[in-house]
Structure 1
């Protein structure tokens, strides 16, 4: 949550971006209307051809009917509200021929490019300054604990394929195909939406609290790794909010350090930090000790499950420290650390195994069906499961009451499959089309 002078600077830039957004939308309106009209014409021609074909088929099959024997139909009988403004805009946009759509999209991207430049500056230098500064080392080093493992096309084993694709610390994550650690693509959507609704949605950008989206995060199968991945970051964010950051290391040469950690499943490589050259486990230890001290000084009423977080976090560090001392110490990690569990399955094939056989394990390890390799493993090791399946099923049906997820789920259940057009986003839903369209916010 931003405070002080940086909050003022941030809001000034939001004002600047809002003015740029107004200009961009005004410039975009002729293009959008032209694109909408082309899509509407394409839709109408498609329906005319379809109706003509249906009339011809009906006429040929029913010669006794004078109304249809000629294969004619009345174009005026089509929907009265069949216009670019009354029909669903997204459906109309989708009807635009691909070459024409490519031209319009390219033009719109150039129109919004100044917004992207300013937003990129805000993302890299103003927004979430302490969070980016003190979280990057945690996110990079947690690959040793929570990486899912990956076998590349040259047969090299990595802690994380996603980490190897990271090419910047903070960016849009969608505009130019960049792969950042901290992703601001959801901000970009506020400023570069297709309609003037984006002007209304921009007001949320003035809020003191904003969503921080992390792109450096693997999809774990092991409950233990998944729990520590989220819980450790949540705890460190609390520390940053409280200003308890003196003992937290700051990563230097961010992208290069991330790649170096991700490439070293032996866990011996060191990367430069504000505390000197440290390995991934050493960085994790520093964060853990700082978090433990922070929790010890926190009032009981605010502890929550922080003690459980520390216990599970420490147990993973201990397991991996044992592996670093002796590479035969892997039994405790199986079912708890994904990359090591997967590596054990691959190594079990032997040295003569083909790359395709190893890659099959790499891929099928993540299969969610009962035949998935991890699913088969945990059936033999039920202690690795933290959450019972019935609890998972219950939360799928009923998210926490009062949460955006609960409102979103209710909207989808009530309106999906009905007559009303429904478009949902993380923050809101649009129900209906044309003048009858309504917006429902999930965060109210």
Structure 2
């Protein structure tokens, strides 16, 4: 049996992509719809974030900032000049479900406040996972776990050694590509300055060469004009494709194999408690927004139009991007403790749904790593079963299991509930929060069997289905889809926010907890150190840059590095109690 870790001590975190809802009648629409316009929206948003909390620039391949609460804000887009763009918020590293929920809610509040201050009602953030055109984005969960052990870990490390020469060639090729890009910019600028002397309206030439007028070059998108962006995107994909294939094979063979096998049935059935609901193009209601689009169990998450349940994209980015900026980052891939990234999950608005999504998954992972989970039934064709579960709001679909057996998603969830309860019962001094989650998990499954309407305000898909029912059975698709999307809007006009103002939704956090998380990093994690350095050195004379692994102070030969991976306290503080309103007796009290 594997050694039994303490419950709720691993590092966990959430990444959330927020869509931009831009008013068609607003002045901001013209600017945002221009090439690179959403990047300018991001710049305005970040300027407002800086007014609220100390920030520093991120040392990372994609543009972003870290703030004093320990988290980060990124501009997430592969093709910004072509009109792409999302705002991504990443929570600081946390250790308990309640801690993570508080910092996630603080992140929602920080970004919604910044958007309101920057744009008023013209630009709003949507915390959803699929737009009206079917584009998929949204939430990802991160859990610190063992990548492998024994022979599997040795084989993984040998694979990294074999891949290293290919990685080095990729870094060299990327540096050459950057050099070519900078040379183009210099030559284009010289050419424009010469040609503009003989042109009456040189703005057209500037848009071709730079993607914008010359006076707006400083705030232009980071990838240049649309044609250059498209060319660089194709060339970059060609350059990184060999290392992508070379790294994916050992990841599929060795990374989290036992964990994936035991965790997959839980995740396939989890939408019944954590899904946010969705209206598809045919007007049919699904339990989850993102789950029906999943097309593979493992993948990089976009490299080849893959939408995986388990994403290996962060390994790939470390190998070709982070290590390209700092080759020592490649060494981090040899560590046994790595980040398991789950891409199957919706961006919840309801506290109970998000708390259960985090807490139940964390308990299951703790039980698996402790070797305390009984043999798990295997699902035949997991992705097909996932889509069928999401397409059945009655929750009666019989999941085909290996061995010609079947069960419902609720029955599968109860198996994991019972296993986690037994795990917690035999643990030495388990945290009170673990029993709170078990109780809330059981109450929720009971309500789903007896009367799901009792969970309006607690589970997102039930709440959204309730709102849709108020539109009437004959409501047009456009009306129903508007409800679907505006449910997730982070503003006072968002439909979930309207419900919250009436007291229908169940709040698990006290306002003081969210207010604290807006300004301070969580205790007992690397974010504690990161946040302290950001608050102390931001705006000072000494240069500072930050990423998830290190803090960089100074520049050039005088640069000093603080390794955040060394900050691993054994006993983080217990979660704070809350005086939240409760709909069920002693829930989370």
For normalisation by structure 1, the TM-score amounts to 0.81
Q: Does 1:31 align with 2:160?
A: no
Q: Which moved more, 1:151-160 or 1:291-300?
A: 291-300
* Counterpart contact for 1:192–1:198, Cα < 8 Å: no
Structure 2 vs 1, CA of residues 106 and 5 (structure 1 numbering), >3 Å: closer, same or farther?
Answer: same
* Alignment partners' CA distance in 2, 1:385 and 1:106: 47
Q: Which has the higher contact order (CA 8 A, sep 6+)?
A: 2
* Counterpart contact for 1:42–1:96, Cα < 8 Å: no
* Alignment partners' CA distance in 1, 2:226 and 2:305: 20
Structure 2 vs 1, CA of residues 442 and 38 (structure 1 numbering), >3 Å: closer, same or farther?
Answer: farther
* Alignment partners' CA distance in 2, 1:314 and 1:106: 50
* Counterpart contact for 2:545–2:553, Cα < 8 Å: yes
Q: Does 1:293 align with 2:415?
A: no
Mapping of 1:146-295 within 5 angstroms? 146-193=274-321, 196-274=324-402, 276-295=405-424
For structure 1, list consecutive stretches of 5 or more residues without a partner in the other structure: 53-89, 323-328
For structure 2, list consecutive stretches of 5 or more residues without a partner in the other structure: 1-145, 198-217, 567-589
Mapping of 1:10-159 within 5 angstroms? 10-42=156-188, 94=222, 96-159=224-287
Deviation string, structure 1 residues 111-140 (Cα, Å, up to 9, x no partner): 221211122222322101111111111111
Match of 1:59 in 2: none
* Alignment partners' CA distance in 1, 2:459 and 2:252: 32
* Counterpart contact for 2:543–2:555, Cα < 8 Å: yes
Q: Does 1:335 align with 2:457?
A: yes
1:149 shift after superposition = 0.3
1:91 shift after superposition = 9.8
1:295 shift after superposition = 1.4
Match of 2:42 in 1: none
Any idea what SS the aligned residue of 2:406 has?
strand
Match of 1:386 in 2: 508
1:6 shift after superposition = 1.0
* Counterpart contact for 2:363–2:434, Cα < 8 Å: yes
1:373 shift after superposition = 2.1
Any idea what SS the aligned residue of 1:298 has?
coil
Match of 1:344 in 2: 466
* Alignment partners' CA distance in 2, 1:157 and 1:342: 10
Any idea what SS the aligned residue of 2:234 has?
helix
* Counterpart contact for 1:148–1:159, Cα < 8 Å: yes
Structure 2 vs 1, CA of residues 430 and 177 (structure 1 numbering), >3 Å: closer, same or farther?
Answer: farther
* Counterpart contact for 1:342–1:365, Cα < 8 Å: yes
Structure 2 vs 1, CA of residues 150 and 413 (structure 1 numbering), >3 Å: closer, same or farther?
Answer: farther
RMSD: 3.2
* Alignment partners' CA distance in 2, 1:345 and 1:194: 44
* Counterpart contact for 1:10–1:126, Cα < 8 Å: yes
Any idea what SS the aligned residue of 2:338 has?
coil
Larger radius of gyration: 1
Count of matched residue pairs: 400
* Alignment partners' CA distance in 1, 2:332 and 2:431: 30
* Alignment partners' CA distance in 2, 1:408 and 1:286: 40
Higher helix share goes to which structure?
A: 1
Structure 2 vs 1, CA of residues 430 and 354 (structure 1 numbering), >3 Å: closer, same or farther?
Answer: farther
Higher strand share goes to which structure?
A: 2
Structure 2 vs 1, CA of residues 315 and 188 (structure 1 numbering), >3 Å: closer, same or farther?
Answer: same
* Counterpart contact for 1:428–1:439, Cα < 8 Å: yes
* Alignment partners' CA distance in 1, 2:176 and 2:221: 14
Q: Which moved more, 1:252-261 or 1:143-152?
A: 252-261
Match of 1:74 in 2: none
